[in-house]
Amino acid sequence: MKIALIQPRITDNLTDNLKQVIDALDHCREKADLAVLPELWNTPFINSEILLHQDDGPTILRALQESCKKNGLWLIAGSIVWKEFSSNPSDPFSKNSIKSSSKNSDLSFRLRNRCFVINDKGEILTFADKLHLLEVHTQKHSYYESDVFEAGTSLCTFGTPWASCALCICFDVRFCELTRLLCENAQILFVPANFNANVGRKQWKSLLCARAIENEVFVIGVNPQAAQYENMSTYGHSLVVAPDGTIIQEMSADEQLSIIEIQPDRVQKIRARSPYWNLRRKDLYSLSSSITIEKPDLPKSEKKK
């Protein structure tokens, strides 16, 4: 399975950001099976900028679908600001619920940090919303991602022609309970991310390697290139980790596209050799989800390449 990691340069200009990504996807044509983008690549990770780009979603999604269809490419579309509408007056929106200024004043909306999965026919297969919203307190300031976004409410697993997959977004990867639930039937965990440079230097590799080892899956984490945006410094260093914790690929801090080949069936071989999943003491402890997690079977209509 050939996977393209796209580590783009983020600006506050939608046209520039989108052109950069579409050009990268065009470059992947016949070179990769699937491409991965980082978290919030359509805007700097600053709340004021996020609000300015809250209407970008449909334009971006259409362009990505067209590109996937044209290039015969699957895509983990990073994440973008997605405006989710509701016409149900009883819908319990959080403090982030906003009344629409459109003619239909009954419409309310909330913003999601959302990653779409698009297949090679340009169809939306599924999506993941960020489940855990970043909160940081330093001596200089506090930051709440919840000031702009609403947290997701479902877990994301899905099948591709090559592997069964799971998906979580950036800060979500810190919560080992979540990744444990996601990865039992998965071979690859995708992590579109936007780690800041200070934390990234200390923890990015450690977190992704830990998730790979404890769950015996490939972990693919993609950041934007390193850059400074007001108080936010992005990190780069997108990473591919094997199920045994070996780092297969680490990108630099710069804008970059890298194509890596993995063998998803290594997961079954490693789990057979080291059957950690089967050795759990379920008589002493357990971990369960309050919602049903669908087993990410391979699509029946597809043949493994």
- 3-state SS, residue 25: helix
Looking at the domain assignment, is residue 297 inside a domain?
no
Cβ-based neighbour number of residue 22 at 10 Å: 17
Tell me, letter by letter, the H, E, C secondary structure of 136-196: EECCCCEEEHHHCCCCCCCCEEEECCCCEEEECCHHHHHCHHHHHHHHCCCCEEEEECCCE
Q: How many domains does the chain have?
A: 1
pLDDT at residue 141 in the model: 87
Rounded to two decimals, what is the model's pTM? Answer: 0.91
Query: 200 is in which domain, residue-wise?
Result: 2-86+108-279
Domain for residue 168, yes or no?
yes
Give the integer Cα–Cα distance in Å for 84 and 76: 20
CATH code assigned at 253:
3.60.110.10
Predicted pLDDT at 290 = 78
Q: Is residue 40 part of a domain?
A: yes
* Residue 98 resides in a domain: no
294 within domain boundaries: no
Q: What is the pLDDT of residue 88?
A: 57
User: Is residue 302 in a domain?
Assistant: no
Q: Which segments of the chain have a pLDDT < 50?
A: 89, 92-95, 97, 99-106, 299-305
Please report the pLDDT score of residue 288 as a whole number. Answer: 86
In a domain, 92, yes or no: no
Q: Is residue 132 part of a domain?
A: yes
